[in-house]
Amino acid sequence: MSERDELFDASALRVNELNARQMLRGAALEGLNAPAPLEGAELERHVEERVLTTTLEKAVAWARSNAFFPATFGLACCAIEMMSIVASRVDVARFGYEAFRASPRQADLLILSGRVSIKMAPIVRRIYDQMLEPKWAIAMGACCSSTGVFNNYALVPADHFMPVDVHVPGCPPRPEALMHGVLRLRKMVQDDPEMGWRERYGAQGTEEVLPPAPGGGRSGA
C-alpha cells in the first residue's frame, strides 16, 4: 500500500479519527485491538488534514458572497429574464441567492433589470440608499448600462446616479448571462472585498449609520 492509498483508506481514516478524538479528550486508548496511539509528526499531520485556517475577513466575505439577498425590483422587460433565474432551469438557489426580498432594508443586491427613465432615477437611487451595507448593484441589460435602443432624452444610464458593481450586457441578457454576472459578483466579493463601491467611488464616511464614537455611546443619531 502506498502512502496515498493508506491516507484514503476509509476504515483506517475512521480508526484514526476515533483515536484522535479520544486523545483530545485526554483518555487512554483501551482494548486489545486498539491501534498504537498517534504521536509526534503523525498526529500533527492528522490534525492538519482536518483543520482549515483562514482570516476572519475571508470567512466573512465567503459567507456574504454565498448569501446575496436580491431586491424584488423589476424595471422593464429584463425583469422577466431576472425572474427566470429563480426558476428550475438556471436555479439561482443552487448558489444561495433565491431569497428575493420585497423590502430594500432586507436586501443587499439591487438588480437594475431594465430601462431607468430620468423620472424613475431618483426613486431607484432612493431604494439603493435605503439598502443596508454591504450592498451591491448589477446593471442588467443594455438600457441601464448605456440606455440601449432607448438612447434619447428620456433615459439615463445607471452609472450617472448610483454605483454599479457589475454590468451584464444584452437586450435582454439571457438568464445564463445574468447568472454569470451574479457569479462574477460573487468572485469579486470573495477575492477583492476592497472593491466595494465606497472604495471605488471614494465615498468613505458617508455611511447612513456611523460607527460608534470613540468615547462610547451612539453617534450620528
Partner 1 sequence: MPDATGLELIAKELADTVPGDGSPVLGTVHFRGRGTLLVDPARIRPVLERLRGIGYSFMASVHGVDHYPEEPRLGVCYELIDMAQVDRLTVKVRVATDDPVVDSVTPDWPTANHQEREVYDMFGVVFRGHPDPRRILMPEDYVGHPQRRDFPLGGEPVIFTYNENEDIGGAR
Give the residues lining the site for partner 1 (CB under 8 A): 118-119, 146-147, 151-155, 157
Q: Of the two residues 85 and 155, which places its CB atom closer to partner 1 in the complex?
A: 155
Reduced 3-state DSSP string for the chain: CCHHHHHCCHHHHHHHHHHHHHHHHCCCCCCCCCCCCCCHHHHHHHHHHHCCCCCHHHHHHHHHHCCCCEECCECCCHHHHHHHCCCCCCCHHHHCCCCCECCHHHCCEEEEECCCECCCHHHHHHHHHHCCCCCEEEEEHHHHHHCHHHCCCCECCHHHCCCCCEEECCCCCCHHHHHHHHHHHHHHHHHCHHHCHHHHHCCCCCCCCCCCCCCCCCCCC
Compute how many other C-beta atoms are within 10 angstroms of the C-beta atom of residue 110: 24
Q: How far is the CB of 50 from partner 1 (least distance, A)?
A: 49
Q: Of the two residues 159 and 191, which places its CB atom closer to partner 1 in the complex?
A: 159
Q: Which three cell numbers stand for residue 71?
A: 431586491
Q: Of the two residues 18 and 118, which places its CB atom closer to partner 1 in the complex?
A: 118
Q: How far is the CB of 194 from partner 1 (least distance, A)?
A: 25
Q: How far is the CB of 147 from partner 1 (least distance, A)?
A: 5
Q: Of the two residues 71 and 121, which places its CB atom closer to partner 1 in the complex?
A: 121
Q: How far is the CB of 119 from partner 1 (least distance, A)?
A: 5
Q: Of the two residues 8 and 153, which places its CB atom closer to partner 1 in the complex?
A: 153
Q: How far is the CB of 13 from partner 1 (least distance, A)?
A: 53
